[in-house]
């Protein structure tokens, strides 16, 4: 029989004392940030002090907006004086997920990914939850804590992000958490975070994408040249899916020594993951879901095939590879 929420809360609290200095270490994304905020709130006035530390540098503008608008104080892991702490917590991750976690002996792990850790004094792993923030909401409710607007908004945004805006794997438990949080959420802040996905310096990639895109049989092909982060390819690929005749968008960019290729489609009788594997699998890791996929090809595997600094040549290569592997008789071959 599963343990009740008040029982879990009590066991969680059993691992902390008033003298404790607690470090919550996260791989910062909306769900992890919100879950860390919830742990901090649960431990408020119960321990001596609590610091949230991120092991990753926050680059995504929406994540940066979340940290700023919700006033989440975080210290980058390399700036943490770890000898100051005696208790270590992670949420939305498990110790094996990242090398940066290896230096710590965790007392508490709360997560919704498949279980990969053992011998943790307190672990609460629930893979059937869409978000760790949903688990944390149950802890807050069990503790009879009324969340502040910032905490509720963070948890709300974390659940929303991890469940793909409720289009993906949202479970009853996630919906229940949202129902509870909704009465405390600041929707303006939530919307502002969500709408902060673009940085000013990203706009030039949209400009060149619009100018240089090649449209073939409902497929938009775009090569962005060098990009500072693969996220730009994702943003551009998603953007082109909003254009009416586009059924597929295939967007590539050079990042470090890889050619990143993002595939999106409208999901109607199409399979992006399969297309990615069949087209690009021979060059490097490739795969994904029905409507979203990516390939990450080491440049050394393809630099003899075409001139990679030439955007036109790269697009021609993308078109060739996709069209040759999917065949000309695919069911979405309407001329545009």
Token match 């990516």: residue?
294
Whole-number Å distance between alpha carbons of 289 and 216: 22
- Could you give the CA distance from residue 286 to residue 278 in angstroms, rounded to a whole number? 9
Contacts for 336 with CB less than 8 Å, ≥ 6 apart: 215, 217, 218, 245
How does DSSP classify residue 281?
T
Neighbours of 27 (CB within 10 A): 18
Q: Nearest approach, Cβ of 31 to Mn ion (angstroms)?
A: 3
- Calpha distance 87→106 (Å, rounded): 7
Burial status of residue 151 (CB atoms within 10 A of its CB: 0-12, 13-18, 19 or more): buried
Supply the minimum distance, in Å, between the C-beta of residue 322 and Mn ion.
Answer: 32
What are the residues binding Mn ion (CB under 5 A)? 31, 92, 132, 162
CB of 120 to Mn ion, least distance (A): 18
The conformation of residue 11, written as its DSSP 8-state character, comes to H
Q: Tokens 């600041």 — which residue? A: 186
Please state the closest distance from residue 295 (CB atom) to Mn ion, in A: 24
Smallest distance from the beta carbon of 130 to Mn ion, in angstroms?
8
């Amino acid at each position: 029989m599963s343990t009740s929420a008040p029982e879990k809360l009590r066991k969680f609290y059993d691992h902390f004392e008033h003298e404790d200095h607690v470090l919550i270490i996260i791989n910062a994304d909306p769900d992890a940030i919100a879950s860390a905020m919830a742990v901090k709130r649960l431990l408020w006035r119960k321990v001596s002090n609590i610091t949230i530390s991120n092991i990753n540098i926050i680059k995504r503008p929406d994540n940066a907006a979340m940290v700023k608008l919700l006033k989440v104080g975080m210290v980058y892991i390399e700036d943490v004086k770890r000898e100051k702490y005696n208790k270590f917590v992670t949420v939305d991750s498990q110790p094996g997920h990242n090398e940066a976690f290896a230096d710590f002996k965790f007392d508490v792990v709360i997560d919704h990914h498949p279980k990969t850790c053992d011998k943790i004094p307190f672990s609460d792993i629930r893979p059937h939850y869409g978000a760790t923030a949903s688990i944390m909401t149950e802890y807050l409710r069990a503790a009879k804590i009324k969340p502040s607007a910032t905490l509720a908004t963070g948890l709300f945004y974390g659940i929303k992000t991890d469940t793909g805006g409720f289009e993906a794997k949202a479970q009853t438990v996630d919906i229940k958490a949202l129902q509870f949080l909704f009465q405390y959420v600041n929707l303006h802040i939530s919307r502002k975070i969500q709408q902060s996905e673009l940085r000013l310096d990203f706009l030039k990639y949209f400009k060149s994408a619009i100018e240089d895109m090649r449209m073939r049989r409902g497929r938009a092909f775009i090569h962005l040249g060098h990009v500072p982060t693969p996220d730009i390819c994702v943003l551009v690929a998603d953007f082109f899916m909003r254009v009416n005749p586009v059924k597929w968008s295939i967007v590539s960019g050079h990042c470090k020594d890889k050619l990143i290729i993002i595939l999106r489609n409208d999901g109607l009788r199409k399979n992006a993951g399969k297309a990615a594997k069949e087209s690009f699998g021979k060059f490097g890791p490739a795969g994904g879901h029905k409507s979203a996929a990516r390939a990450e090809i080491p440049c050394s595997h393809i630099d003899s095939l075409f001139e990679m600094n030439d955007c036109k040549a790269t697009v021609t290569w993308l078109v060739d590879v996709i069209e040759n592997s999917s065949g000309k008789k695919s069911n979405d071959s309407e001329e545009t």
